[in-house]
Amino acid sequence: MLEMSVQMVGLDQMSMAPVVILTDEKKERFLPLVIGPAEANAINLALEKVEVPRPMTHDLLASVIGTMGGKVEQITITKLVNETFYAEIHVRIKETLHKIDARPSDSIALALRCSAPIMVADSVAQRTMAIAKEEDPEMEDFKKFLENLTPDDFRKDN
């Protein structure tokens, strides 16, 4: 297993689809995941520690887990099948560990709210990870583009 963190959320320049980019601790390898606009917004809100007046879905789930005496121990991106990533949320309630099937984007949004580690199975990492290139001008342009994005950029009413 490889622990990763969210480096950024942005838009894929080709498809204009929201993407979350996970990186390893040394920021040498990265894993881009295409996600939906709502999940991009939820992840960005958590990254920016934005307080919302009413709980959003991932806030609600974190609250329910905590109220039931549970703790999100980690989320794990477990496999890739037909270009679709799968994940599990590992919730401990007392002595029992529950592994709950979930989409990676929802799992990441929940992990950020619960300060839980984001793990990637070795088999997924070996098949999908890209190694950061030194001074990649296209990546630098992409990073500059992403620096100016806000959660509002992902809302449909814009």
Per-residue pLDDT at 154: 64
What band does 16 get if pLDDT is binned at 50, 70 and 90? Answer: confident
Q: Rounded mean pLDDT of the chain?
A: 88
Number of H helices, E strands in the chain: 5, 8
Phi and psi at 106, nearest 5°, equal -65, -40
Per-residue pLDDT at 13: 80
Q: 10, 22 in Cβ contact below 8 A?
A: no
Higher pLDDT, 148 or 94: 94
pLDDT in tens, 75-116: 999 999 998 999 999 999 999 999 999 999 999 999 999 999
What's the rounded mean pLDDT across residues 132-153? 67
Domain CATH for 99: 3.10.690.10
Cα-based distances in Å from 86 to 29, 42, 81: 20, 19, 8
CA 128 to CA 60: how far, in whole Å?
31
Residue 78 belongs to what domain range? 2-154
**Total structural domains within the chain:** 1
pLDDT in tens, 21-54: 999 888 888 999 999 999 999 999 999 999 889 9
Predicted confidence (pLDDT) at residue 143 exceeds the cutoff of 90:
no
